[in-house]
Amino acid sequence: MKKALVTGGAGFIGSNVADALLDKGIQVEIIDNLFTGRLENIPKKAVFHQVDIRDEKVHQIFEQGKFDIMFHFAAQMDVRKSVADPAFDAQANILGGINLLQACKKYGVKKVVFSSTGGAIYGEQEKFPADENHPQNPRSPYGISKLAFEKYLNFYHCEYGLDYVALRFANVYGPRQRGDGEAGVVAIFFQKLLAGEKAVIYGDGGQTRDFVYVGDIVKANLLAMNYDKCGAFNVGNGIETDINELFETIKDIVGSKQAQIHEPGLPGEQRRSVIANSLITKTLGWKADFNLREGLKKTAEYFRAKAGR
């Protein structure tokens, strides 16, 4: 039986992946500092360690845990915060990650599946959708830190034989995503509109993103776990949706009558972002099970339940 460590396992994506691993009969331990994660997200069958990935205590967890694989989701994940405080972003996403890799090397972890980014790594795109060979010119410290950690993964593979798969996610949404400051425009729109509060579109709303449902991200992680080689794969639908269209779709699903409210755009954000998924489809057999409206309807059920509606 495999034993997995999930960093950031109290968070949005990490907790969904932890649930799926447990369903497969895999033992799961979770590391999370609960800075943005929530205790309520942690599966009851998982062993939980409240610790920051930058802390030396993680080495004790690795020594005792004897993990076969690490799923690495713990991160500073807000593009805007990375622009405001790039040093903190680097401490969490690069130095924290290196601390984990040192523990992997020392205590015999065989593989890392890393939650990377398919939008922020490429920066302002030259072609649409961007494949994995697209020039990597991130425009935010967040994107820079994710790219840097992919390079560290390759170093640890070449030098120490640690296998890895980097999954470059598009804009992930779905149940358990936070709408109170954590990155995620879908969650913010749902929470605000269901509460009858002002939902703001920054800029003209013409900026585009590739939205992918969290259930499809979980599937990609499970496939990556069983992949016997190393590499980086985009995980997205390959479809551009602008923020105005997203707002109108969510507004329709929740039955809101709020008009669009626009405020000035924010620094560090790309104009267009959409990624190709042909490589992961061909290599791992992945395909999305949910189109945008289907995924948004499932997400609405979660936010309605939280709002008591």
The residues annotated with a catalytic role in the active site are 142
Instruction: For residue 102, list its beta bridge partners.
Output: none
d(CA 92, CA 74): 8
| C-alpha closest to that of 256 among 291, 300, 212 | 300
What whole-number distance in Å separates Cα of residue 123 and Cα of residue 140? 8
Structure tokens that stand for 21 in this block: 């691993």
* Max Cα–Cα distance, the chain, nearest Å: 57
Residue that the structure tokens 């016997």 belong to: 228
- Burial annotation 213-235 (CB, 10 A radius, 16+ → b, else e): bbbbbbbbbbbbbebeebbbbbb
Q: Can you tell me the distance from the alpha carbon of 173 to that of 184, in angstroms, rounded to the nearest whole number? A: 7
The CA distance from 14 to 243, in Å, is 25
Residues 6+ apart with CB under 8 A from 300: 190, 250, 253, 254
